[in-house]
Structure 1
């Protein structure tokens, strides 16, 4: 598992990349829909990331990370200029990094904020072409998410992972990035079925069982 300092460093780097990517966007660009989060604009996505940091620092964890919890983060900042939202993140983000390093919390989401930020950094890339998060982010996410034995074995160029569910024993090959996106519902069932399955009939079952969050029905390319 990722140690506290690495967690803080991964989060800080992602926060800085996202900030750089959106700070100078036009109002029209900020209003663009994020394909992986179709109910959010780019501005909404950044509001969520800022709100997560603020809530984690404040200890507001009731309901995290369910939609009603995130909806408040977005709504509270909906009419604020992006510079104001980013300025807030520049204050609460370092406080969250200090909290992670302090070791005073054991909450898995608070201890690993880069999981959410890295996922949304990839979402942002799908909206404005800002660039995928670096390989170290999605490999860390896979290690964090897929750390238990399971009946599905996913072989990637970077490692072999197991996923647990009620599905049958199966083996599939894909890239680490595609697995990272699929785990969080950012790949459709059809896209997952197109991976290299050793037993093709297992693809249909696992294409629905793999995602840990609601799955997109629209193929995404990011």
Structure 2
């Protein structure tokens, strides 16, 4: 299941970028303002190559991502896509129950697919892909947000409760916005606006795994 989510995302990204000209590939991505579209592709290729190696221990860190981008700065897009494709056999061997590995593998891929889509004005990330991947994130988020107390979280009109007892925090937004916020693609003000009861400031500080962005980012799933 998770392997197929990754494969499908890689295929969609390849289809999106294959027709792009050099100028578009050098477009800065609004969600990752320090990276061009080419840089995002370089990171995706580097991340794929790191699977199953000691380098994967650095997943999510600035040196890890910077190494991918810097070492592939001049690599043609076709070669980046081929490098990623060549890594699929080893990824297929990751056990389905290894959620600690699949969470960064799948969500990094989908996050950067969404980043590319936003940069080139492509339609949003397929909702079914996000819905299928979200349980990986939901397996760890309640623990990470436990300092906020029991929570009521309504995403796309579907409620869920995290923690035991009467909710001390109530959040209502779309699954896409919540997910983007969890991976640093929403500002504190945007995240505070989702809180209908409870400590909005603490929620906006705690949700993003790598910290929030400074300015609002408006996207459409």
Considering the TM-score relative to the shorter chain, is it more than 0.5? yes
SS at match of 2:211: coil
- Counterpart-to-counterpart distance in 2, 1:39 and 1:118: 19
Provide, for residues 163-197 of structure 1, a one-character-per-residue CA deviation record: whole Å limited to 9, x for no partner.
Answer: 68xxx9211211111111111111111111222x3
| Displacement after TM superposition at 1:129 (Å) | 1.7
Instruction: Summarize the alignment of residues 67-78 of structure 1 with structure 2, pairs less than 5 Å apart.
Output: 67-78=62-73
When structure 1 is superposed on structure 2, of 206-215 and 116-125 the one drifting more is 206-215
- Counterpart-to-counterpart distance in 2, 1:132 and 1:99: 30
| Displacement after TM superposition at 1:96 (Å) | 3.8
Counterpart of 1:55 in structure 2 is 50
SS at match of 2:170: strand
Q: Does the 8 Å contact 1:56/1:110 carry over to 2?
A: no
| Displacement after TM superposition at 1:112 (Å) | 5.8
Instruction: Summarize the alignment of residues 73-84 of structure 1 with structure 2, pairs less than 5 Å apart.
Output: 73-84=68-79
Structure 1 stretches of 5 or more lacking a match?
Answer: 1-5
TM-score, structure 2 length as denominator?
0.84
SS at match of 1:119: helix
Q: Does the 8 Å contact 1:141/1:180 carry over to 2?
A: no
SS at match of 2:73: coil
Provide, for residues 20-55 of structure 1, a one-character-per-residue CA deviation record: whole Å limited to 9, x for no partner.
Answer: 111121111011111111111100101111111111
Q: Cα gap change, 1:127/1:70 in structure 2, threshold over 3 Å: closer, same or farther?
A: same
- Counterpart-to-counterpart distance in 2, 1:58 and 1:105: 19
The CA RMSD measured in Å over matched residues stands at: 2.4
- Counterpart-to-counterpart distance in 1, 2:175 and 2:185: 13
Q: Does the 8 Å contact 1:122/1:133 carry over to 2?
A: yes
- Counterpart-to-counterpart distance in 2, 1:118 and 1:12: 11
| Displacement after TM superposition at 1:79 (Å) | 0.6
Counterpart of 1:198 in structure 2 is 196
| Displacement after TM superposition at 1:131 (Å) | 2.4
Structure 2 stretches of 5 or more lacking a match?
Answer: none
- State how many pairs are aligned: 209
Q: Cα gap change, 1:47/1:37 in structure 2, threshold over 3 Å: closer, same or farther?
A: same
TM-score, structure 1 length as denominator?
0.84
